[in-house]
Amino acid sequence: MRTDLWLLALLIGCGGTKETLGADSSDTDSDVDTDSDADTDTDTDADTDTDTDTPAACIGLWCQIALGRSDSCAVDVSGTGACWGLSNDDQTTPPPSTFKALFPGYKHTCGLRTDDTIECFGTNADGVSTPPPGTFKALTSGTYHSCAIAMDDSLICWGGNDEGESNAPAGSFKDVSGGFGHTCAIDDSDQIQCWGRNDFGQINAPAGTYRVVLAGNDRISCALDFGGVATCWGSDSDEQDNPPATVFSEIALGGFHGCGIRDSDSGVECWGSDFSGQTTPPLGFTAAHIAAGSTHTCAIDLAGNLECWGNSGDDRTLHP
């Protein structure tokens, strides 16, 4: 697996966790987000794009950030994990291990430790917090499942599998991202393979070669090609599958929105629903890394500080 995965994977938010909640036709559920819904398993559309992988270069105090539906996690330069937001199953209470990266799902979080093994915490429904043994180079959390790329580039998934999202194909892979009932990965030919739920065409990946893929919330997926151009497919309830024609160094995919870091000036540009202000970053904000949750967005700025905006319910934007 190429070394650029370390620089890309962690930075692409996010997201991929078990995905974020939301009905495709409106913003009223996931965007208003009273979060009584997040406390029950009846919320089948949990979101996040918690995305995948391993840690990127540290900026100031922080090295990596990823968001779940209603929670957020980051890893600092010492390898200590910090999580905040909704914690109905202790998914925001990291163990005292040292991590390269943390990826929150819906009610679980998995982390890639500094020894390249995986540790998960929170609910263990369907064995989602019981990772496989061994060492890995990339990791992602979907809504109810997680996946990882082993040192031999093979792919393994565990946890929920109601939509076939954990049925990882054989082969060699460079990147992987878990979403809401679906998973997407980039194989060793730089092409995208997706599997699982497909009610909005979210696994109908485009042809071509790509360096990053995100299986997002709201039954949508996006990818970034080698020229920094974003392409999205799947649900379009809020034009979340219509990214701007900007050259990005990094993108993140949330519930009904996406955000990217412009390659030209490190400015943040977002698209899709702004019901909770999740696509309105602070004026003049520049970022090194970015991640998106259901209705909130967080980033590490160029000075190494955390910044979050959007829905503040359950203190999901109240970063350390």
Query: Which residues share a beta bridge with 229?
Result: 247
Residues 6+ apart with CB under 8 A from 40: none
pLDDT digits (tens, 9 = 90+) for 152-191: 999 999 999 999 999 999 999 999 999 999 999 999 999 9
With CA atoms as reference, report the closest residue to 276 among 32, 38, 36, 68: 32
Percent of the chain with pLDDT over 90: 79
Domain 4-315 matching CATH 3.30.930.10: the answer reads no
Backbone φ/ψ region at 92: left (φ over 0), alpha (ψ -120 to 50), beta:
alpha
Query: Which residues share a beta bridge with 113?
Result: 99
For residue 56, what pLDDT band results from cuts at 50, 70 and 90? low
For residue 57, what pLDDT band results from cuts at 50, 70 and 90? confident
Cα–Cα distance for residue pair 182/219, rounded to 1 Å: 8
Tokens representing residue 95 in the block: 């163990």
Q: pTM (2 decimals)?
A: 0.85
Domain limits, the chain: 4-315
Where helices occur in 264-304 by DSSP H, the ranges are: none
The residue among 35 and 251 whose pLDDT is bigger is: 251
Distances, alpha carbon 80 to alpha carbons 50, 87, 98, 305, in Å: 18, 18, 5, 16
139 pLDDT higher than 60 = yes
